[in-house]
Amino acid sequence: RPIIGVLALQGAYDIHAERLTELGASVRLVRRPEQLAGLDGLIIPGGESTTFLKHLERAGFYDALDEFVHTKPTFGTCAGCILLAKDVANPTQRSFGVLDIAVERNAYGRQNDSAILSTETTLPGGPMEMVFIRAPRISRIGEGIEILARRGDDPALVRKGPLLAATFHPELSTDTRVHQLFLDMVHQARS
């Protein structure tokens, strides 16, 4: 069984852990940098990316995570997507830059702070529910990045190699396809 870490400093980590457990993975909540050792993959959940950064600046955590995301399968949702992105706007802030996308934080405006949409996806099984909470907008994608779902014209679920990023919160829907996809990516990376 793969061991999947869920960064548990802040934000929506619990339900990610539940989803992964439902799908048969072993889960480790990661609160200290040394807990990254031996993981097969990691989810960086939604929350507040500035708060994540504040926590991470302590005790070498930022650098440990930076190394992890550059070498192991990682799935960033919402704030996690922002942390993986190469360019962050509104305002600009530090990020791991491992995924060649640009994101604009809190980009869908006051009225659209939260939204539940159903959208086409390239994943088998028909349209997918997507829950957005103060979501970022992916405003640019680099070469070789696959778009698996969109919000309007904007990419909302993207993948490249062992990296997956969503601007929404897949853990808040009962649909487990996105978590299953990440587990498939982890299996692929192990074999």
| Smallest separation (angstroms) from ligand GLN to the CB of 58 | 18
| For ligand GLN, the closer CB: 40 or 178 | 178
Find out whether 105 is annotated in a ligand binding site. yes
Measure CA 17 to chain center. 13
Find out whether 11 is annotated in a ligand binding site. no
Taking phi over 0 as left and psi of -120 to 50 as alpha, with beta for the rest, 25 belongs to beta
Residue holding tokens 């997918």? 128
Contact partners, residue 45, CB within 8 Å, separation at least 6: 6, 7, 11, 12, 13, 16, 77, 78, 79, 80, 171
Active site residue 129: no
Find out whether 49 is annotated in a ligand binding site. yes
Measure CA 52 to chain center. 13
Find out whether 159 is annotated in a ligand binding site. no
Among the options 78, 81, 104, 179, which is catalytic?
Answer: 78
Identify the bridge partners of residue 140 per DSSP, sorted by sequence position.
102
| Smallest separation (angstroms) from ligand GLN to the CB of 167 | 9
| Smallest separation (angstroms) from ligand GLN to the CB of 90 | 8
Q: Which of 55, 185, 80 has its CA nearest to residue 135?
A: 80
Active site residue 81: no
Active site residue 143: no
| For ligand GLN, the closer CB: 11 or 40 | 11
* Site for ligand GLN, rule CB under 6 A: 46-49, 78-79, 82, 105-106, 133-134
| Smallest separation (angstroms) from ligand GLN to the CB of 78 | 3
CB neighbours of residue 32 within 10 Å? 13
Known binding-site residues equal 47-49, 105, 133-134
Known binding-site residues for L-glutamine equal 47-49, 105, 133-134
State the catalytic residues.
78, 169, 171
